[in-house]
Amino acid sequence: MDLLLNQILAGISTGAIYACMALAVVMIYQAIDHLNFAQGEMAMFSTFISWQLMQWGMPYWVAFAITLVLSFIGGIVIERLLFKPLAKAPILTNVAGFIALFAILNSSAGLIWDFTIKEYPTPFGSSPFLGSQLISTHQAGMIGVTVLLLIALYVFFRYTRIGLAMRAAASVPESARLVGINTSWMIALGWGMAAAIGSIAGMLIAPVVFLEPNMMVSILLYGFAAAVLGGLTSPFGAVIGGFLVGIIENLAGTYIPGVGNELKLPIALALIITVLVIKPAGLFGRPVVKRV
List % helix, strand, coil for the chain (3-state, nearest 5). Answer: 75, 5, 25
Residue 33 dihedral angles phi and psi, to the nearest 5°: 65, 30
Residue 42: its H or E element = helix 39-55
Instruction: Name the β-bridge partners of 128.
Output: 136
CA distance 25 to 42: 12
Q: In terms of Cα–Cα distance, which of 161, 131, 162, 126 is closest to 142?
A: 126
What would the mean pLDDT of 74-95 be, rounded to a whole number? 87
> Quick one: what percent of the chain has pLDDT higher than 70?
90
Q: How many CB atoms lie within 10 A of CB 291?
A: 3
Contact of 15 with 244, CB cutoff 8 Å:
yes
Burial of 209 (0-12, 13-18, 19+ CB in 10 A): middle
| DSSP sequence for 61-128 | HHHHHHHHHHHHHHHHHHIIIIISTTTTS-HHHHHHHHHHHHHHHHHHHHHHH-SS-B----SS-SSE
Tens of pLDDT along 25-77? 888 888 777 888 899 999 999 999 999 999 999 999 999 999 999 999 999 99
Contact of 140 with 160, CB cutoff 8 Å:
no
pTM above 0.85, yes or no: yes
Tens of pLDDT along 154-182? 899 888 998 888 888 877 778 888 888 88
- Using DSSP, state whether 253 is helix, strand or coil: helix
